[in-house]
Amino acid sequence: MKKSLLVTQISNCDYPLYRQWLEKYHLWFDEIIIYFDISFRFPIFSSFIQSSLSHLPDMEFIDPIEFDRETRDWRDTSTNEMLKHATGDWVISIEQDWFTKDWDRLLETSEKMMNQFDLFGWWNETNSPYIHPAFWFMKREALEKTSKDFSPHPEINGADHFSTITQEALKNGLKVGKIQDFGYETNVLTPEKTDAFHLGGVNQNFLNGLTDGYNFHRGELFNIYNYETLKVKPLHPIYEEMVQKLAVKLNGMYPEVDKNWEQFFKI
């Protein structure tokens, strides 16, 4: 089974821990495709990110294409563009802010689920539940039976990016699996009771975190994430300076953190 990892990379944000994860686990995939989305916020880190990962085999980097942002969704655009380049039997999305305390176990579980399902991953319990792109695997032949609509649908309560794919898969009678049914607790409760989770809000925390009165998304966990980010090399100088300034603010706001969460951010 050939596996294609599709990564939408926001150009104005680096995810150093994800780059570190790719360094360790890139051989688990047969190809990795990274699409740089331009969100018109600065500075831009795409060239630095590409240069830091270009030594890995089977990497492909895609520059953003022009499209009408009033009529097309950015994530739907990036994913469909990457699909034009993907050659795998399986199409995979693992977002930069998805974390688990044991990657080897999770990937081993994924191998088993690939033999049982057409679509599987983290089941996001919204009002319109779906397999979330933070951890999402689908057979290419099964995906071709859908509309390949990865855009959110605000007219449907809870239907965010990738939700349509799950609903169409269920409607078409495809086998859909949840990692929660394989022993994974994904609700962020305590580190002892959590196996994997989607941090969320990382880019917004970096972009807006130094603004007075900003309310950090999952601030305690982001503080640990930010601290672990400083340990990664290389870091872009501008990005490193941003992380250091955020560390000062976060440490003041969250002086006591549960260090047991650190295991999720160590590769």
Alpha-carbon distance of 240 to 94, in angstroms, equals 24
Over residues 149-177, the mean pLDDT reads 97
**Residues 75-101: tens digit of each pLDDT:** 999 999 999 999 999 999 999 999 999
Over residues 171-197, the mean pLDDT reads 97
Per cent of the chain over pLDDT 90 is 94
3-state secondary structure 135-198: EEEEEHHHHCCCCCCCCCCCCCCCCCCCHHHHHHHHHCCCCEEEHHHHCCCCCCCCHHHCCEEE
DSSP of 16-59: HHHHHHHHHHGGGSSEEEEEEE--S-SS--HHHHHHHHTTSTTE
Q: What pLDDT is stored for residue 106 in this prediction?
A: 98
Q: What pLDDT is stored for residue 40 in this prediction?
A: 72
Quote the tokens at residue 159.
């239907």
pLDDT tier for residue 169 given thresholds of 50, 70 and 90: very high
Quote the tokens at residue 218.
């999952």
pLDDT tier for residue 133 given thresholds of 50, 70 and 90: very high
pLDDT tier for residue 228 given thresholds of 50, 70 and 90: very high
Q: How many residues does the chain have?
A: 267
Q: What pLDDT is stored for residue 174 in this prediction?
A: 98
- The correct answer on CATH 3.90.550.10 for the domain covering 3-182 is yes
Quote the tokens at residue 138.
């689908």
Mean of pLDDT over the chain: 96
Name beta bridge partners: 37. Answer: 10
Alpha-carbon distance of 122 to 8, in angstroms, equals 18
Q: What pLDDT is stored for residue 128 in this prediction?
A: 95
Alpha-carbon distance of 71 to 143, in angstroms, equals 23
Q: What pLDDT is stored for residue 121 in this prediction?
A: 98
Task: With a cut of 90, say whether residue 70 has pLDDT above it.
Answer: no
Q: What pLDDT is stored for residue 39 in this prediction?
A: 74
Task: With a cut of 90, say whether residue 50 has pLDDT above it.
Answer: yes
pLDDT tier for residue 117 given thresholds of 50, 70 and 90: very high
Provide CATH 3.90.550.10 ranges for the chain: 3-182
Over residues 110-117, the mean pLDDT reads 98
Say which amino acid occupies 93.
S
Are 179 and 108 within 8 A, CB to CB? no
Q: What pLDDT is stored for residue 194 in this prediction?
A: 98
pTM beyond 0.75: yes
Q: What pLDDT is stored for residue 41 in this prediction?
A: 78
Distances (CA, A) of 43 to 25, 38, 226, 234, 239: 28, 11, 18, 17, 9
**Residues 26-44: tens digit of each pLDDT:** 999 999 999 999 877 788 9
Q: What pLDDT is stored for residue 157 in this prediction?
A: 95
